[in-house]
Amino acid sequence: MKIVMLGAPGAGKGTQAKMIAAKYQVPHVSSGDIFRANIKNGTELGKKAKEYMDQGLLVPDELTVDLVIDRLSWEDCKNGYILDGFPRTIPQAKTLDEALEKIGEHLDYAIDVDVPDENIVTRMSGRRACVGCGATYHIVYNPSKKGENCEVCGDQLILRDDDKPETVQKRLSVYHEQTQPLIDYYAGQGILKSVDGTQDMNDVFAAIAAILEA
Active-site residue numbers? 13, 88, 127, 160, 171
State which residue, 66 or 206, has the beta carbon closest to ligand AMP. Answer: 66
> Which residue, judged by CB position, is nearest to ligand AMP in the bound state?
32
Q: How far lies 121's CA from each of 54, 64, 118, 205, in Å?
A: 16, 26, 7, 22
Ramachandran angles phi, psi of 51, nearest 5°: -60, -40
* Rounded least distance, CB 87 to ligand AMP, Å: 6
State which residue, 133 or 145, has the beta carbon closest to ligand AMP. Answer: 133
State which residue, 53 or 208, has the beta carbon closest to ligand AMP. Answer: 53
* Rounded least distance, CB 30 to ligand AMP, Å: 6
Q: In terms of C-beta density within 10 A (0-12 exposed, 13-18 middle, 19 or more buried), how is residue 47 classed?
A: exposed
State which residue, 71 or 193, has the beta carbon closest to ligand AMP. Answer: 71
Q: Which residues bind ligand AMP (CB under 6 A)?
A: 9, 31-32, 35, 52-53, 57-59, 64, 85-88, 92, 162, 171
State which residue, 57 or 187, has the beta carbon closest to ligand AMP. Answer: 57
* Rounded least distance, CB 213 to ligand AMP, Å: 26
Cα distance between residue 142 and residue 138, in whole Å: 5
* Rounded least distance, CB 50 to ligand AMP, Å: 9
Strands, DSSP E only, in the chain?
2-6, 28-30, 81-84, 109-114, 127-130, 136-138, 157-158, 192-196
Are residues 52 and 82 in contact, defined by beta-carbon separation less than 8 angstroms?
A: no
Give the β-pairing of 136-138 and 81-84.
Answer: unpaired
- The three state secondary structure string of 56-87 is CCCCCHHHHHHHHHHHCCCHHHCCCEEEECCC
Tell me whether the omega of the peptide bond preceding residue 116 falls within 30 degrees of 0, making it cis: no
